[in-house]
Amino acid sequence: MTPATSENASMLHECLHDPVSSASAAEALAPQQGRVPGGVPPLPYGLTPDDVGKFWTLVQRGGLQHPTRPELGKCWMWKGSRIRKRGRLTYGEFKGMRAHRVSYAIFYGEPKGMVCHTCDRPGCVRPTHLYDGNSRRNTLDAHERHRVRRRKTKAASGFRGVEEVRAPHGFRACISVQGTKMHLGYFRTAEEAARAYDRAAFKYQAAAYGIEYVRFNFPEEWQ
């Protein structure tokens, strides 16, 4: 066994035994595509043992405890490169791939979807804090854990998604869905614009996030 492969096995052993028993860790890992690692899987993405060894030198173990599931142990934080995309700091790339995705793939095999965090810490690369999900599930999980910043419940107009504009337009309604802002039109009154927002929220946001996460201006009309 090469030193890098040995390091990978050591990380796997620590991940499964710190701070709980292997049985508890295995139970925690069970949802991961139905696989519980019994050993070190083949290296993904064409990585070599030396690549894996370098990867782990850029990981700091023993960070903050998992915020909601302490049985999963402390976070392992990425110390390598960080980049900025769309004004936001993105944690880590390793050989052109996101660091937490590489970590997941090393332990479980290449993911089918996007790799999401259960700890809500983008810099964490601990495999037991990651799962193979998708953008919708990640958004729903974020809402459930209150990670997504809540927008102001009402604009200056008094209604969500409505702003007053210069005559003759009156009021404009807009809505954002999965990062895309949609213009819904101009209306004579704020109430008309607010109801246009509600219709769009039901049509688009409910489909994207689930009806339970939609905030209406007139919720009594959508019960």
- Residue type for 15, please? C
User: Among residues 7, 128, 141, 131, which one has the least CA distance to residue 73?
Assistant: 128
Residues 95 and 122 in one domain: yes
Residue 16 confidence class, pLDDT cut points 50, 70, 90: very low
156 found inside a domain: no
Q: Are 59 and 125 in contact (CB under 8 A)?
A: yes
pLDDT tens sequence across 19-31: 333 333 343 343 3
Q: Are residues 130 and 187 in the same domain?
A: no
Please determine, for residue 37, whether its predicted confidence score (pLDDT) is greater than 80: no
Beta strand 59-60 pairing with 130-133: unpaired
**Range(s) of the domain holding residue 124:** 3-144
pLDDT grade for 35, boundaries at 50, 70 and 90: very low
Q: What is the pLDDT of residue 63?
A: 81
pLDDT in tens, 69-126: 888 889 998 888 776 554 443 445 566 778 888 899 888 888 888 888 888 787 889 9
Nearest to 73 by CA among 141, 139, 121, 9: 121
One domain for residues 32 and 81? yes
Q: Which of 28, 6, 7 is nearest to 17 (CA)?
A: 28
Residue 149 within a domain? no
Average pLDDT, the chain: 73
132 with 32, same domain: the answer is yes
Query: Over pLDDT 90: what percentage of the chain?
Result: 15
Q: Is 59 a member of any domain?
A: yes
Per-residue pLDDT for 32 more than 50?
no
Q: Is residue 151 part of a domain?
A: no
| CATH code of residue 212 | 3.30.730
